[in-house]
Structures are given as structure tokens and as C-alpha cells.
Amino acid sequence: MCSRKRSEAQAQAKSLPEHPLQRQRYSHSHSQSRIPLQIVSNPSSFLNSSDHTFSKRRKLDLQNPKSMAAIIKTVYTDTNTQIDELTRMKYEKLNELDKIKSQTWKLQSQIPDLELKLDKVRSEMERVKSKFNFIERQIIGLNSLKSQKVESLKKSISIFKNTMKEKFDDKVNSLNVKYEEKITKIIQDGIESFKAKEKKLKDEIKDLKDELGSYSSDVLQIDKKKLDKELRQELDNYTKTENIDIRRIKSECNELTLKIEDLFVDIKTLHDKYETQTQSKLESLKTISNDLLIQHEEIQIQERALNSKMNELNTTKDGECNKLLKLKGQCRQYKQDIESFHEQVKKEEHYRRFLHNQLQEMKGNIRVFCRLKPEPKHQNEMFNYQIRSMLDTSNFKETLLITEPKTANSNGNKSRVLKQAKTYTFSFDKVFDENATNGDIFEEISQLVQSSLDGFNVCIFTYGQTGSGKTFTMSNSIDGLIPSSIKLMFERLNTLNFIDKHYHLYGQFFEIYGDDTNDLIEDGFLHINNNDELVGLDIDRLENIKMIKLYSTEQIEGLLKHASEKRATASTMANDVSSRSHSIFKVYIISYNETLQKYENIGILNLVDLAGSERLSHSQVSGIRLKETLAINKSLSALGDVIANLKGKSSHIPYRNSKLTHVLKDSLGGDSKTLMFVNISCLNSHFNESLSSLRFASKVNNTVLRK
């Protein structure tokens, strides 16, 4: 009887038909697995290398499954990482089907030993077929997105145009400034030099002419008259003297005869002396006159040369003015082209935002990441865990498996009985092991920061037990999520300000302690009360919470440092420095709407560091700490209730059940984007707290935002 059953079961298993689609997918997966999957992070480089190839592929017969699969593969791998991951998961699942098929044939050879497990094998086969049908439906859905992904190539074209436009603008501005400065300097230098030289030469010519005329007529006459006058005066004096002497000599004629002769000799000597001096002066004046004539001729030559040079400068000036007019005409044309490019860039930017939001909605408006805290000093005290990539799972998520630490119980005979270790499985959108850095984490969430700049409200918060690394992940001054997000926003806003509007960032930094809100911004920071940019904005203002304008990463470092000192902390059995409040850093993106002539709120980015969750039995708190713990757990429970109601599409969402959910209301519903970062510790002593955190995060991960 048993032998006949085994024979029938073996014949039935061998007669199971192979699904034709499975055979087709298996062949396709092996052929495609040899093709490297490349993520194109730079669309402009993709255009330069593959635009022509893609134009040919578009002409392929879309009814041909192989051609259609090739187009889908190219579009997905060149567009974003998510589609690439889905494609790789598809191939992995087909390989998994192949393994299951191999295992099925192996079981057929072992039917005599596996009769009692035949029903289980058949149910497993049904489950595999169900998975296969699910993957087939996924492929059909991806095919429907093909046309949208083809259009996404236009995004690459727009980026290429933007790059060329920026280079063109830089070149035009550089040439414009260069030629204007050069032409202006040449004209001014030429005119000033010419005027100075012309004035100098005219003054020299006038002086030389006056001096020459003076020397040529008056000087000689004046010197001659002067000499004659001097001679006459001397003769008069001499005559008078002689008359006196004659009268005296008449009485002393004999005595003075010799003296008179001597005087005549002296007179002759003086006459010769004055004659020589007069002749010397005349010769000197003649020499000076000749020199002045030569200088006058040289000045005339220089004047003619200057006139010639002035004519050349005038000709050059006219030519440069014509060039300047031509350049101004080109500049006007360039400005018109730039305005046209700006309009095109605006359109492409709107289309990019649409595609980016489509991608984010495909990933999910609520996402949950998990991070394992590194414990380098306690490697021997950690429970076992395993991370499986989405390629190894059936729900397209990464899986974390944790194993409960083994415990020993003693009986009366002192014998030890080991409990069987339990393994718990949780699925998340992304799991970061203990080797992951804050930079690796921010690379994953940067797309949500971009969504806030695109006009969506975004909430990113860290959750987990006390001491699990939430504050380090969120507020580390070097590479935490807060400083990294603000740095990225400043970089992106610089580009947006060039393209379209004038964007500004405003922020609030406060904590929720119980049901009270406490400001974490000190009075020394710039406090904005009546700024024109904030008048009339649709912002839910919190009482006694300051709002400041954000302008640099250095400012953010100061905010984080002051907030960490001011935030409520206390020591518990679970952690020496446990955060007893929820800290919230709200960033408002403000822009000026030229159509409405006013400022408007574009989006909000909420960066929330939740207080540490802990069980009362583990923390062993009492008094004020007990009240704090109850308030923390109540607010976290209210957060879970809000998410559960969103999942159930309830008509009433209990946002007002806690201060935390009321403050985060604008980022927990509608088309908002929410990311939870659950942080856990892998120490054996923290296993129960880590398990509780993972269960709460798993509850959030199963929620889809209601629209």
C-alpha cells in the first residue's frame, strides 16, 4: 500500500508541468544577469554617451517582449536606484524559483523518505507560485511606467541645457566686463594724455616766444643803456673829480702831473675792461638766442607729431566706439537669449519636481530605516543579528533578524537547562549595520530634503531606546542629519535663486517636555518678530518660540551646541545622560512670489530627536523621572495611534492627543513625507528595549499615508 502511494506521488510530481512564463523568465534572467547594471548619476553624461543609442531603441517593436524588456531595463537603470533595485530583485526571485525547482526534483528522488511531508511540499509549491504571480504583476506594473521613464530623459536634456547656459553666461559676462574696462581705459588715458601734453606744449611755446622776443629786443637795449648810463655816470663823476683836482692841481701842478698821467692810464684800463665785458655779454646773448631758435623748431616738430598722433587717436576712438556699440547690441541679444533660457529652465525645474515626487511616492510616503549602534567595547556582550538585503526577501524590503540571548535556569539539583533561543524578524526600507556612518545615512535621506525644497512638508525623526544613538544621528555637529540637511539646502537654494525665486530659510529649535514647549534658542541669536518676509505667511506659530533666519552652517553649529546644553536630560538606570524631552528643529522654506507680490511658505522640514523610550521595569525610575517616562511613553503611543488611524483612513485623526503629534500635524498626513529612524542597541542587556523599538517601528512601516 505504501509502495503504491510512493509510486503515485513520484509519478504525479514528475508530471507537474513547468510554467512557460517561468521558463521564459529564467532564460531572460540568466541572459540579463551578465549585463552590468549601471546607475546613471549624471544625466548630462548619459546624454553625451547614449542619446543616439536610445533614439534607435525607441524605434524597436514594443510588441516584442525582448525589445520591451531591454527598453525598460535601460530606462530604469539610467533613471534611479530604486527601479534598478526592483529589476535586480526580479532576477533574484527568478533565480530563487530555479533553486526551488531544483529542490523539488531533489525531493522527488527522496519521496520514499518524505511521504509524510508531501503535503507541506505541495503547499510550499503553491506559495512559490503565488510569489511568482506577484512578481509577474509587478512586471506588468513596471511596463505601465515605461512611457513616464522615457519622458524622464528630457530631464537630462534640461540639465545639459542648464550647464551650457551657465558656461555661456559666464563667457558673455567676462567678455562684456573685459571690453568695457579696456575701451574706457584706453579712451580716458588717451584723452588725458593728449590734453596734458597739449597744454604743456602750448605753455612752453608761449613762454619760449615771450622769452625769445624779450631777449631779441629789450635785453640788448637794456644792457647797452645800462652800460652807457654807467659810463656817463662814471664820466660825470670823473669830470667833477677832475675839476676839483684841476683846481687843486693848478696850485699843485708840478706835484700832481705824474698822478694825472697815472689816472689816465687807469681810465684807459677801466675802459678796456668794460668794453671786454660788454662784448662778452653780447656773445652770450647771441648764443642763447640761437639755442632758443633751435628749441622753437624742435617744439614745432613735436607739435606736428602730436597733432598727427591726436588724429590717430581720434580714428582709434571712433573704431573702438563702433566696436562698443556692436558689443552692446550683442549683449542685448545675449540677455534676450538668457531670459529665454531662464523660462525653459523654469519649465524643466517644474517637470523635475513632478518626476522627483513620483519617485518618492513609489518609494512610499512613510518610510522606516533602522540603525544598529556600534558597541566596540562590548563585542562579547551583544546578541546575534542578521541583515538580509531586499534581494533575499519577498516584500522588496531589507530584513533584520535578531536572536534572543540564551538564558540559563537552575533547578534543585543544580542542573542547567538552556532555553531555546527565539528569532524575531522585522522588515524595513533600509537597515544600517554598526559600520554605517552618518554620511552613509544622509545619502539615503537627502532626497527627502529635496522634497521639502520642492514644496512638500517632510518629517524625519529618530526613535529608539535611551542611549541608542538617536542624538548622535540627528544632532552631531560634524555630520549629523541637521547640519548636513541645512548644508544641502543652502547649496540647492543657491541654484534655485539663480533660476527663479528668492528663497530664504527660517528655523525654530525647541523641545517638548511633557505638554510644555521650551525654546532652545538663546536670546543672543537674531530674533525675527516683525520681518516683512513673515507677514501674512500660513505658519502655525508656537507661543514663546522664537523664529530666526538661517544663513550659515556655522550658525547651525552654535545652535546645536547651545541646544544640547539647554535640553532637559537626566540620569536613569538605562542611561547616565538620558534625554527627557523631544527636540524639534523646524525649517521653513520661504520664497517671494512675483505674481502675488508677497512671500509665501514653500515647505517645512521637521527634524525630530524623540526622547528615549524605556520600560519602567528596566529604567527603575520614580518621582519626577517616573512622570517624565510616563509622559514620553504616552506621546510615543499617541504618535503610533495617529499613524494607525492614517493607515485605517479614519475620518478623525487624533492629533491633539499629545503635544508632539499636534506640532507634527503638518507632516504626518496628506502628501507629506515621513521618515522614521529607529535606533537600537545590540547589547544583551538592551534586548527587550530593542525588541520593543523594532515592534513600534514595524507598525509604522506597515502604514501608507492617506490622501
Query: Which residues line the annotated binding site for ATP?
Result: 464-471
CA dist., res. 508 & res. 66, Å (int): 54
Residue ranges of the binding site: 464-471
Say how far apart CA 641 and CA 365 lie, in whole Å.
17
Nearest by Cα to 578 from 539, 551, 550, 618: 618
Q: How many helices (H) and strands (E) does the chain have?
A: 17, 16
Q: Which of 498, 560, 497, 501 is nearest to 525 (CA)?
A: 560
Task: Give the residue ranges of DSSP H helices in 16-64.
Answer: 20-33, 43-57
Backbone dihedral region for residue 353 (phi beyond 0: left; psi -120 to 50: alpha; all else: beta): alpha
CA dist 500 and 162 (Å) reads: 13
Note whether 172 and 334 are within 8 A (CB): yes
- HSE, side-chain direction, 13 A CA sphere, residue 44: 7
Question: Which residues fall within 8 angstroms of residue 2, CB to CB, at 6 or more apart?
Answer: 115
| 440 burial type by CB count under 10 A (0-12 exposed, 13-18 middle, 19+ buried) | middle
C-alpha cell at 467: 542611549
Nearest CA-CA partner of 675 in 371, 363, 458, 367: 367
* 3-state SS record for 558-606: HHHHHHHHHCCEECCCCCCCEECCEEEEEEEEEEEECCCCEEEEEEEEE
- DSSP state at residue 152: T
CB 559 within 8 A of CB 523: no
**From CA 136, how far away is CA 129, in angstroms rounded?**
10
